[in-house]
Structure formats: structure tokens, C-alpha cells
Amino acid sequence: NSKLRHVEKDVLIPQIMRDRAKERCSDEVRAFTKCCQETGLLMVAKCRQENTALKDCLVGYYTDPLFYEECKAEYLKQREEYRKTGIKKKRQRHTSN
């Protein structure tokens, strides 16, 4: 049964999307974090370019219907596995070096 409840569509799948988008935008996340650490309180003004690049990257994934379907498939696979075993699998974080 692949019917999705409200909480799955509006909370659980978007959480997978956010996590995966952050992984895929890791260069932008790193650049923004580094800028913020180096500039402190002036980050709002000084890190505008890095913030824009990060937002553009993330929004690109959030609005991509294929990416949504990919994350939905991942969620359904996790849900099916949980229903079979009763064991909730922690989501693995992929890091790029």
C-alpha cells in the first residue's frame, strides 16, 4: 500500500528531501558556514553571495519533481522495511570529502 498520509507527504518526505539536498549542496553549505565563522556578526552583509548560492542550490532540489519522487521512493522503502521488521532504520548521512 503506497498511500501517503498527510504527515508523510508534508513532514516525513520533506525531511528526507532537506537532508539529501544538504548532502548534495555540501560545497555551498561549507562555503556559507566558513564565511559565517570568519565574519561573525557581519555575516548578514558579508556572506550574502554564499547564502544566495546555498539557497539557490537547496531550492533547486526542493522544487524538482524528480527529486521529490526519488525521496518519496526512499521513504516508501524505509516504511515497507519498518512494517516488515518493526525496526526503524536510522537514516545514514553521506558525507563528501
Q: Where are the domains of the chain?
A: 6-83
The pLDDT score that the predictor gives to residue 92 is 54
DSSP one-letter string for 39-74: HGGGHHHHTHHHHHHHHHHHHHHHT-HHHHHHHHHH
The pLDDT score that the predictor gives to residue 95 is 47
Q: Per residue of the chain (97 residues), what is the pLDDT tens digit?
A: 568 999 999 999 999 999 999 999 999 999 999 999 998 888 888 999 999 999 999 999 999 999 999 999 999 999 999 888 888 776 555 544 4
Nearest partner of 19 among 11, 33, 36, 97, judged by Cα: 11
